[in-house]
A and B are shown apart, each in its own frame.
Chain A
Amino acid sequence: MAPASCALCKMSKAILKRPKTGQQICKDCFFYVFETEVHHTITTAKLFKQGDKVAIGASGGKDSTVLAHVMKTLNDRYQYGLELFLLSIDEGITGYRDDSLETVKRNQQQYDMPLKILSYDELYGWTMDAIVSQIGKKNNCTFCGVFRRQALDRGAAMLDVDHIVTGHNADDIAETVLMNIMRGDIARLGRCTMICTQGEDTIKRSKPFKYAYEKEIVMYAYFKKLDYFSTECIYSPDAYRGHARAFLKDLEAARPSAIIDIIHSGEAFEVREEVKAAQKTQQTCIRCGYMSSNELCKACTLLEGLERGMANSAITERARKKMEASGPAPNNMRSIPFFQSSQPILAVEAPS
């Protein structure tokens, strides 16, 4: 096959077929369009303002590593005036997170950004290793997801940042749309395509890679020779997401625009007012002060179950009733330190 020349500059040899557009482009044009599209996503959604302190949720994986690189590049190129931080959560998974955190520490050097690591052990008194040794591999992702979400907010509050950005990409969001449709989770369906989740006074969370295809993120990391960690979590993977993912990848193979199309479908769903009204309003957890749709937030409920040796109480209704029947939480039980953000928190989002 004769090498095609780049559809944009017409000069260099094309090295990549863009899944979004089918265009064949060269390496330099690829870097330029990838970065510029993220810049447009950021400016169109007005994600930042001059002087914002922004934490990049960094796992050491491909998405957050590329995000850190691109955020630094754009902040310099377009003078966003942001103060950037890396924020990592150490779930306490030996042989997995300890290795990936080494990658984050190298990123800290390479990108010259301050790094904060907050561990489950420090915040909840439980590592994922300890949780799995108590509850087994089934359902442990529920604990990890709930704990990580809250840990990120708490880490952001410790850094006193205005904003958390995460590496969620277009493929992740399309998967979440599919999962929320299959589960009939109308509240999350409405939220999961939002580029930015925030109430007036919350720590904002946003996804600058909302429209970036995973293929391009991985290609970007490859051609830029970025240093990232790519081992699967040693505990059972999220099986339901795995099915949604495999389905999405098959759709993408047949028609690459499927990913963006599904995100647009998710955005186009409109929730009727009476459905919205039936949804639970947000309050703060009576025990730890974190946002919650019940008296106790999900993390406190899970932690209480662990502490009382009834870890399933937050997973099944039957186990919850059993724990309630066994009396109130003992006074000396470990709980999460009271959440103090400079602002109260209003919005929630699906853990991913």
Chain B
Amino acid sequence: MASDTLSLKIEFGGGLELLFSNIRSHKITLPHLVPIDNSMDGTSHVPSSSTPPSATDGDKPIKTKPADVTYLMHYLRDNLLKERAELFMENGTVRPGILVLINDTDWELEGEGEYELKDGDEIVFISTLHGG
């Protein structure tokens, strides 16, 4: 395993998988270091709403941070999500009512979006919003 990437297992549940091609389980690879503004490396075209207004111009080197759950959410939205992005994210985080587990622990105990991802982590997103 190259040391500059992270392999992650992502699961969607509670109906959230419907936004992701109806596939519950995904394996993805992320770089260790990612742009601090959570943008997608400039390769994929990113909707302008995903970059903060304070984005700098192209001359400066891109500032980076260790990949965290906030970056993961942006990555999933911009790369795996197939429809209705507003049902997954709102104001830079998951929509209220979506539960996140990091290695089977409530993300509220792990620092939420600031949790730094490790190789082999398993992240689960569950919607509570679907009724009976």
Chain A residues at the B interface, C-beta cutoff of 8 Å: 1, 3-4, 13-17, 24, 59-64, 100, 167, 214-215, 217-219, 222-223, 230-233, 237, 245-246, 249-250, 252-253
| Stretch with Cβ within 8 A of A (4 or more), from B49-57, B70-78, B94-102 | B94-102
A215–B131 Cα distance when bound, in Å, is: 13
Nearest residue, chain B, Cβ from A4:
B109
Q: Which of A3, A13, A230 contacts B130 (CB 8 A)?
A: A230
Q: How far is the CB of B115 from chain A (nearest CB, A)?
A: 7
Q: How far is the CB of A22 from chain B (nearest CB, A)?
A: 9
Nearest residue, chain B, Cβ from A168:
B132
Nearest residue, chain B, Cβ from A16:
B106
Q: Are B129 and A245 in contact (CB under 8 A)?
A: yes
User: Could you write out 22 A-B pairs with CB less than 8 Å apart?
Assistant: A1-B111, A1-B115, A3-B105, A3-B109, A15-B104, A17-B109, A61-B132, A62-B14, A62-B130, A214-B128, A215-B128, A217-B128, A219-B106, A222-B99, A230-B13, A230-B127, A230-B130, A232-B18, A245-B129, A246-B96, A249-B97, A253-B96
Chain B residues at the A interface, C-beta cutoff of 8 Å: 13-15, 18, 95-97, 99, 101, 104-106, 108-111, 115, 124, 126-132
A3–B132 Cα distance when bound, in Å, is: 35
A237–B101 Cα distance when bound, in Å, is: 28
With a CB–CB cut-off of 8 A, which chain A residues contact B99? 215, 218-219, 222
Q: Are B14 and A230 in contact (CB under 8 A)?
A: yes
With a CB–CB cut-off of 8 A, which chain B residues contact A219? 99, 106
Q: How far is the CB of A65 from chain B (nearest CB, A)?
A: 9
Q: Are A233 and B131 in contact (CB under 8 A)?
A: yes
With a CB–CB cut-off of 8 A, which chain B residues contact A223? 104
Q: Are A222 and B13 in contact (CB under 8 A)?
A: yes
A246–B90 Cα distance when bound, in Å, is: 12
Q: Are B96 and A250 in contact (CB under 8 A)?
A: yes
**Contacts A64-B132, A218-B14, A232-B131: A24 and B109 contacting too (C-beta < 8 A)?**
yes
With a CB–CB cut-off of 8 A, which chain A residues contact B97? 214, 245, 249
9 closest A-B pairs by CB: A61-B132, A59-B132, A249-B96, A230-B15, A17-B108, A230-B130, A249-B97, A16-B106, A253-B96
With a CB–CB cut-off of 8 A, which chain A residues contact B108? 17
